Structure 1
Amino acid sequence: MTSVRANGVELGVETFGRDDDPLVLLAGGTTMLSWPDSVCERLAAGAQRVVRYDLRDCGASTTLDPEAPAYRLRDLAADAAALVGTLGAATAHLGGVGVGGMVAQVAALDHPNAFSALTLVSTRPVAPGPVDDDLPDHDAATMDAVFSRPMPDWTDRAAVAAFAADGADLLGNVPEQARATAARIWDRTPSSEPSVQQANQLAMVFARLDCRPRWRERLGELILPTLVVHGRADPFFPVGNGEALAAAIPAARLLVLDEMGTALRDAAADEVAAAMLAL
């Protein structure tokens, strides 16, 4: 892992594969670890140069104030486009998980020449906040259960990892995978400040972003090959969001994984990587 400067900020990156292979650029949701090692390794084995990276205020990227971000969603999209050039590529297959998937949609719309393909995982075609009437919102009972739990001591690595594992079943995820990922995120967070640790674990910063203007009405402009991956067991962005996203993008293919919740599972790495390589 290292960091590179793009669009005026430092972005934490990690590379898999050979530098002269086609670039697959993967934007994280909370951090780059939203993209499991298993998926990155299988893409690299398919002759791709895989670079996963932390969005601003996450992981090894520039972190200022996660509680009051002084940038917009479109700035994060511009980061992705700038990163392609910084990494020495002409274009990239861009992937995003969760809010990273929103970044990827806007990046492909605003910077079409920078991207050759798109993979959107566990995301939706509108910003955080109130959802359009035709899209399913967060499952209310699940969200009540998730957010009624006492918050951990964010400075205690073991407590944070246990908190992630405890909530995994509610979100359709694998407890031990969630525990391991949370511990790695904690280790990579450069500050011991509780607000920064919480932002890295729960992506709190993204709920505070200015995401205007809307981009859903522009999705028909996307003509690049697109894969939409969604879990049927996702209670945060229920599967209807992925279905609507795939229907709005002319060249999109929808891959629904029956056992998946909000997070990519190691067990699905072969299927997801194969679908991405087929674009």
Structure 2
Amino acid sequence: MSHDHPYAVHGITLHAETFGDPADPAVLLIHGACASMLWWEEELCRRIAAAGRYVIRYDQRDTGRSSSFPVGEPGYGLRDLAADAVGLLDALGIDRAHVVGRSMSGGVALVVGVDHPERVRSLTLVSTTTGELPMGTVDVPEQEPDPADPGAVVDHVVALTRAYAGTSPHFDEDVTRALVTADVARTRDLAATLGNHYALDYAGPRGGGWEALRVPTLVVQGELDPVFPPAHGEALRDAIPGARLVVLAQSGHDVLEPAWDPFVAALAEHTS
């Protein structure tokens, strides 16, 4: 179980966990839709910390142990999630961080980078999109699980993760089931977690779009990502001034353990 701590961030509670030496450059990991901090796996965080980084992972609103909101009516948007990220840095006493946003939270990282550039040393955008290309075809489970049945939720999320892996050989059902089971067990409100990130306001930065980014940016793309196929990573690289693209061989939408070494190496180089 994660040894996380609660932090008060402008009226809500965010649970976060840190790894490494606070004197090292900070790396703030922001996960995608409906996913708690556990999806930045503990061993992955330790490997990043071993590269000389102070790693922060946290539960966004409506995930894990952080504050939850009315089901179907979260009342917040990407800008609020970006303000949460900045507020967490404040709570931790961190002036500037290397910000890593995965999937949906590529949008959160974009808002942080454009509207709060003074807090950002660099951006890393993992498995995300400019939003201008069509999504790929993913065979996701058709029926939503009953949030009152934790076992059904576990089965559903495992099936979803398998679908997001596509044809990647990296998916391991036993590893995934253990992670999902731990995540479901520590989630404050499963109904809110399953739905609210799909109901939030997706308004982007006030200061412009991808072209407005002025911080060093790394784009990480899975070679076999069925959600955002490789053209999405290329479009993202081309949309951001000076951005660099790294393609993870044989990876799907998630960065699973067989891809951790190249991912950590790319992140360490980018944040050096």
Q: Shorter chain as normaliser: what TM range?
A: 0.7 to 0.9
Residue in structure 1 matched with residue 87 of structure 2 by the alignment: 82
SS of equivalent residue, structure 2 residue 66: coil
- 2:102 & 2:20 partners in 1: Cα distance? 21
Distance 1:32 1:7, change over 3 A: same
CA contact (8 A) 1:57 1:66 kept: no
- 1:210 & 1:5 partners in 2: Cα distance? 23
Residue in structure 1 matched with residue 179 of structure 2 by the alignment: 181
Question: How many residue pairs align between the two structures?
Answer: 260
Instruction: Measure how far apart 1:216 and its partner are.
Output: 11
Instruction: Measure how far apart 1:184 and its partner are.
Output: 1.7
Instruction: Measure how far apart 1:93 and its partner are.
Output: 0.4
Aligned-partner residue type, residue 246 of structure 1: R
Instruction: Measure how far apart 1:10 and its partner are.
Output: 1.1
Between 212-221 and 26-35, the greater mean CA deviation after superposition: 212-221
Residue in structure 2 matched with residue 277 of structure 1 by the alignment: 268
CA contact (8 A) 1:38 1:266 kept: no
CA contact (8 A) 1:35 1:97 kept: no
Instruction: Measure how far apart 1:215 and its partner are.
Output: 7.6
Name stretches of at least 5 consecutive residues in structure 2 with no aligned partner. 166-170
Aligned-partner residue type, residue 191 of structure 2: S
Residue in structure 2 matched with residue 169 of structure 1 by the alignment: 162
Q: TM-score, normalised by structure 1?
A: 0.85
Identical pairs, percent: 38
- 2:259 & 2:206 partners in 1: Cα distance? 30
- 2:182 & 2:246 partners in 1: Cα distance? 28
Residue in structure 2 matched with residue 27 of structure 1 by the alignment: 30
Aligned-partner residue type, residue 39 of structure 2: S
- 2:30 & 2:151 partners in 1: Cα distance? 26
Residue in structure 1 matched with residue 116 of structure 2 by the alignment: 111
- 1:240 & 1:216 partners in 2: Cα distance? 26
CA contact (8 A) 1:16 1:40 kept: yes
- 2:22 & 2:232 partners in 1: Cα distance? 35
- 1:156 & 1:123 partners in 2: Cα distance? 31
RMSD: 2.1
- 2:145 & 2:59 partners in 1: Cα distance? 23
Is 1:147 matched up with 2:141?
A: yes
Q: What is the aligned counterpart of 2:212 among 201, 221, 230?
A: 221
Residue in structure 2 matched with residue 42 of structure 1 by the alignment: 47
CA contact (8 A) 2:115 2:205 kept: no
CA contact (8 A) 2:141 2:156 kept: no
Aligned-partner residue type, residue 269 of structure 2: A
- 1:278 & 1:210 partners in 2: Cα distance? 34
- 2:39 & 2:105 partners in 1: Cα distance? 9
- 1:187 & 1:158 partners in 2: Cα distance? 10
Residue in structure 1 matched with residue 221 of structure 2 by the alignment: 230
Residue in structure 1 matched with residue 242 of structure 2 by the alignment: 251
Aligned-partner residue type, residue 174 of structure 2: E
List per-residue Cα deviations over 1:6-40 (Å, max 9, x = no partner).
Answer: 23321110111122221111112121123222321
SS of equivalent residue, structure 1 residue 278: helix
Instruction: Measure how far apart 1:222 and its partner are.
Output: 1.6
Aligned-partner residue type, residue 123 of structure 1: T
SS of equivalent residue, structure 1 residue 52: strand
- 1:32 & 1:75 partners in 2: Cα distance? 18
CA contact (8 A) 1:165 1:176 kept: no
Aligned-partner residue type, residue 222 of structure 1: L
- 2:174 & 2:29 partners in 1: Cα distance? 23
Is 1:212 matched up with 2:210?
A: no
CA contact (8 A) 2:130 2:232 kept: yes
- 1:187 & 1:261 partners in 2: Cα distance? 26
CA contact (8 A) 1:60 1:189 kept: yes
Instruction: Measure how far apart 1:94 and its partner are.
Output: 0.5
Is 1:65 matched up with 2:65?
A: no
Q: Which of the two has greater helix per residue? A: 1
Residue in structure 2 matched with residue 129 of structure 1 by the alignment: none
CA contact (8 A) 2:129 2:233 kept: yes
Aligned-partner residue type, residue 36 of structure 1: E
